[in-house]
Structure formats: C-alpha cells, structure tokens
A and B are shown apart, each in its own frame.
Chain A
Amino acid sequence: MTRMLSTIAVGFDGSPDAKTAVRWAFNLAVQVGANVAVVHAVGMLGRLDQHDTVQSLETSISQLCDDAGLDGSRVQLHVANGDACSVLLRMADDPIAADLLVVGSRGQGKHPGLLLGSTSLELAEHTTVPLVIVPSL
C-alpha cells in the first residue's frame, strides 16, 4: 500500500538549483495535499548575515508559493544551525517528521569533481526516508 505524503522537507539556500527544487516540491504538495517544510541551514558564516538572508528567503518562498498556487499556510520556513546535510536529515525526525526530502542537485557548495553537489550525495547515503534530487534546468 502506498503511504500518503504528509510533509515534504525541501532544502533552500536561495541558489537557482534550490529554487528549482522548491518549485518541484510545491507542485507536488499541491497535487497530494502535503505540507512543506522549507529548510534553511545556517552555517558558521551564515550567522553573520542571517537576518538579511532569512528575509530574502521568505520573499522568494512567498513568490514561489504564489507561482505554484500553494496555500501559504501549508508552508513553513525552518532555519536551523548546521550543515545542509545534517539539518535536512534531522527533518525526518520529530517534530517535523518529513516523509520525503527534496534537494537541488547542487547547492551553494560546488564540487566540480562530482556529478552531484556534496549535500545531495551525503543525503543519498544517510537518509532514512525517500529522497528526490531535482536536476538542474
């Protein structure tokens, strides 16, 4: 029996690939009636300009939400300390309990020697729930 999707967690660092992933997650949420946790990881450097970054992300999310026709009340931005991989993995645990993780194929960390961004690779190795890696357009 197929399990219903209740909560989708999607990583978002503001990069073009991350926007593609958020767009994909929002469209899926519209189709299946899921809630979406948009997750932003704050690294060591991120805290220095955290306030401005979060404001900018909120603006982007609002726009993407409108574009997808998704009810904004079903979307929540989670800002958490840590590297993107660890923060996303934690989203599968309570209290978010996401049953699907979504990421872009590359975030802000670029690793030219690899096909995928290192976050995507790490997630694929360690996730306990299904993971979708949305390719670059």
Chain B
Amino acid sequence: MKLVLNGSFEDSGHEELGHPERPERTSAALLGVDDLHLGDDLVRAPMYAATRAELMRVHAGTYLDELGAFCYAGGGDIDEDTYATYDSWSVAQHAAGAGLAVVQELQRLGDGVGFVVTRPPGHHALADRGMGFCLLNNIAISAAALVAQGERVLIVDWDVHHGNGTQAIFWNQPDVMYVSTHQSPLFPGSGAAYEIGGMNALGSTINIPVPPGATGDVVRRAIDDVATPSIAAFEPTWVLVSAGFDSHRDDPMADLALTSGDFAAMARTIARFAPRAGRFAMFLEGGYELNALRTSVAASLAAVLESPYSAEAESFGGPGAQQVQSAREERLVALRIAEEAATQGDYS
C-alpha cells in the first residue's frame, strides 16, 4: 500500500531556543518513515499553503488577522507554552495546507495511507486562540474540508494531552466524531468522560482519561470497550488520527508508559474504522523524545501499511483499567442526563 506524505516541511524559522517543540521533531518523524524503505510506495503530496477560506472553516477571521500581524511584527510568546516567530504564520499555513494536500492526494489515488508531518502541532488550537504549542488546528482544518464535501469524519486523538481545541471546534458538529485517550490529570485539564458533545452532536465526543503509568493494554481497552461501539454506529467515511507520540514511556512531557508496539496496535485497530483504503491519515501532534518519536512513527505506519518493522513489544500491566470502566459508566450517565435535558431545551 502507498504512503502519502506531505511534500512540504517548511518549518524552519518556527523555533525558539530550548523549546521542546522544535524542528528536529519533523526530522525524527521523517527518519521513521525512511526506516520503512518504502521506495516507489512513498508518494509526496504537493506543497500547499491553506487559504484564508479553508482556515476560516475552523478559525475566526479576527484570530487569523491577529496571529498574522503578531508574527509579522516579529512574534514572541503567546502564552507560557506557545511561541510564534516572524516565520510562524507562513509555517502554520503550510502545516494546515499539508493536511489538505495529503487528503486531496489520497482522494486522487483512491488508495493508500496518509501521514502529515507538520509542526507546529494543532490539536490544542481553539477557533480564536493558539495554545499548548499550537497555532492553527491542522487536523480540524482537514476534517472541516472533508465535512464540506459531505463526509463523516472520525478523529481519534492518542496524544498524551487532551485535544481541547479539536473537541471545542466540533463540539456541536454531528458529522465529526472526536475520540480522545489522554493522561489525566495533565494539561490542558479538559477531557473528562462526561464531556460528550453539544446538543446537536450528543455522544459524538468521547473522552477516555487514563492515569499516569497507564500501559498500552489500558489505552487499547479504552478504544475497544468505550469508543468502538459508538464509532461503529457513527459509520465514518474518513478516519483521521491526531498522532501524538508523547504517550510513549520515554517521553519527558508526561507519564504514560506506551511503547512503539502499542502505537502499532492502535493504528491497526483505528485504520479498520475507515470504510476503504485511501481514507485514513495520521497527523503528527506531540512527541518530544526524538528516538521514541522515530520508532513510534515507523511502527504505527508499518502496522497500517503492512510493512515489515520490528517494533517494541506491546506494554501491559499498568494502572487504569478501573478508570476506563468508570469513564464508560460516567459517559453513559452523562448521555442519559443530557438527552433528558435536551428534550427540555436545557442543554448546550
């Protein structure tokens, strides 16, 4: 099977000395792709900068204006985590455009798997604000483009942090299902199981928080037991993954204990939700330990491409089974309460 990779890695210039969200991350992810030796099965989508109209499916025009002006004035710190430089506006436009280009190339081929290697990452970016290292919400921009074409999009977010931006953007959008497994407690503090979507999309947000130390078996069980029945009922026509590899056990930004083999297993499972080939793409989000990032990218792509790769063994035995069960029950209760409230016009 072919791997469709974005052709643009124009991330130079978006860099702050000592910041973990750094250009070497893309290099590490690309080394992971190289490790698969795909030859002619590697296809590069054209370089593309998202247009204002494409960005505005997700972001407020005032925010885009402000971010662009801020960058061209020299940039600086947006908050304690998030920076922008003079080049960041252009870099972010290309990061958002890379997703659109990969999706378009998959549509042209009618086959293959997409991998969008971009930075800055996107899943924390809100409609009107950047945060958590993110400026524009790359995966949401691609999902919104697909929805505009009449598709039903499943987004699975296995980054160690909850994708608060993506959740908020599609909170009331019934054509997008957002599923997140993430460490809790951890930044950004959202992503409780009772957060289930807005009135127009009740149940289309699925959050399964897991505790520090959770291993791959716990996260895989979260997807299998809590999310899979809802995903099957949703019947997605496209599947996108917010592929953050900071839930790897070696990553310094959090405390989950996943291995590259766990990412492979999750990728294999999630790719099966796509109705056919050419409708599955992974978007790079977090992942700050470069070797863990490289091996996890290689392992997860190999799993969906059915390419040979020797990944770490899947991990077992960490805490969290009880929390997954609690999340399932909490979600069901929240759904029941919300449905009752919705019938009385008292839920937003």
Interface string of A52-82 (1 = CB under 8 A from B): 0000000000000000000000000000111
Asked whether any CB of chain A lies closer than 8 Å to the CB of B70, the reply is yes
Taking a contact as CB atoms under 8 Å apart, the answer to whether B189 and A43 are in contact is: no
Interface centre among A42, A47, A81, A122 (most CB of B within 10 A): A81
At the interface with chain B, which of A2-10, A25-33, A92-100, A106-114?
A106-114
Contact between chains at A81 and B79 (CB < 8 Å): no
Selected from A87, A107, A108, A119, the residue in CB contact (under 8 A) with B189 is A87
Query: Is B77 a contact partner of A109 (Cβ separation < 8 A)?
Result: yes
B77 and A47 within 8 A (CB): no
A17 to nearest B CB, angstroms? 13
Q: Is A21 an interface residue (CB 8 A)?
A: no
B293 to nearest A CB, angstroms?
16
Partner of A108, one of B69, B70, B77, B187: B77
B189 and A80 contacting across the interface, CB-CB below 8 Å: yes
Tell me the nearest residue of chain A to B79, going by C-beta.
A109
Q: Quick one: closest A residue to B254, CB to CB?
A: A47
Interface size counted on chain B using CB atoms at 8 A? 28
**Number of chain A interface residues as a range:** 20 to 34
B66 touches A81 (CB 8 A): no
* Given A81-B189, A82-B189, A83-B132: A108 in contact with B79 (beta carbons within 8 A): yes
Tell whether, in the assembled complex, residue A112 and residue B129 are in contact, meaning their CB atoms are under 8 Å apart.
no
Residue A44 CB within 8 A of the other chain:
yes
Q: Does A86 contact B (CB under 8 A)?
A: yes
Residue contact B76 to A122, C-beta cutoff 8 Å: no
Indicate which residue in B19, B80, B186 contacts A81 across the interface (CB closer than 8 Å).
Answer: B186
Q: Kindly identify, within residues 1 to 49 of chain B, every residue whose CB is under 8 Å from any CB belonging to chain A.
A: 19-20
Among the listed B80, B129, B164, B185, which residue makes an inter-chain contact with A43, where contact means beta carbons less than 8 Å apart? Answer: B80
The winner among B80, B133, B190 for most chain A CB atoms within 10 A is: B80
B78 within 8 A of A: yes
Known A-B contacts A44-B81, A90-B189, A109-B80; the reply to A122 vs B73 at CB < 8 A is no
Kindly state the separation between the CA atoms of A119 and B50 in the bound complex, as whole angstroms: 28
Query: Do A82 and B76 touch (CB < 8 A)?
Result: no
A-side contacts of B76, CB under 8 Å? 110-112
**A43–B73 CB distance below 8 A:** no
User: Residues 314-329 of chain B: 1 if any A CB is under 8 Å from the residue's CB, otherwise 0?
Assistant: 0000000000000000
Which of A13, A42, A46, A86 contacts B190 (CB under 8 A)? A86
Complex CA distance for A82 and B187, rounded to whole angstroms: 5
Question: Chain A residues near B129 (CB, 8 Å)?
Answer: 118, 122
Q: Please name all residues of chain B whose beta carbon is closer than 8 Å to the beta carbon of A115 when the two chains form the complex.
A: none
- Once the chains bind, are B81 and A45 in contact (CB under 8 Å)? yes
User: B69, B76, B131, B161: which has the most chain A beta carbons within 10 Å?
Assistant: B131
B187: chain A residues within 8 A (beta carbon):
42-44, 46-47, 81-83
Q: Which residue of B lies closest to A43 (CB)?
A: B81
**In the complex, what's the smallest C-beta–C-beta distance from B59 to chain A, in angstroms?**
15
Is the beta-carbon distance between A44 and B253 smaller than 8 angstroms?
A: yes
> Does the CB pair A111–B78 fall under 8 Å?
yes
Contacts of B308 in A (CB 8 A): none
Docked Cα-Cα span, A45 to B82, in Å, equals 9
Complex Cα distance, B76 from A122, in Å, reads 18
Within 8 A of A (CB), among B57-91: 66, 69-70, 73, 76-82
CB-CB nearest in chain B for A42: B187
Is residue A84 within 8 Å, beta carbon to beta carbon, of the partner chain? yes
| Contact status of A82 and B188, CB under 8 A, knowing A44-B253, A48-B252, A112-B73 | yes
Interface core residue of B73, B79, B81, B161 (most chain A CB under 10 Å):
B79
Q: Which residues on B sit within 8 Å (CB–CB) of A110?
A: 76-77
**20 A-B pairs in the complex with CB atoms less than 8 angstroms apart:** A43-B79, A43-B80, A43-B81, A43-B187, A44-B81, A46-B81, A47-B187, A48-B252, A80-B189, A81-B185, A81-B186, A82-B190, A83-B79, A83-B188, A90-B189, A108-B77, A108-B80, A109-B79, A111-B76, A118-B129
Given A42-B187, A81-B188, 17 other A-B contacts at CB below 8 A? Answer: A43-B81, A43-B187, A44-B81, A44-B133, A45-B80, A46-B187, A47-B187, A47-B253, A83-B81, A83-B132, A83-B188, A84-B79, A84-B80, A109-B82, A113-B66, A118-B78, A118-B129
Which residues of A line the B interface, CB within 8 A?
13, 42-48, 80-84, 86-87, 90, 107-113, 118-119, 122
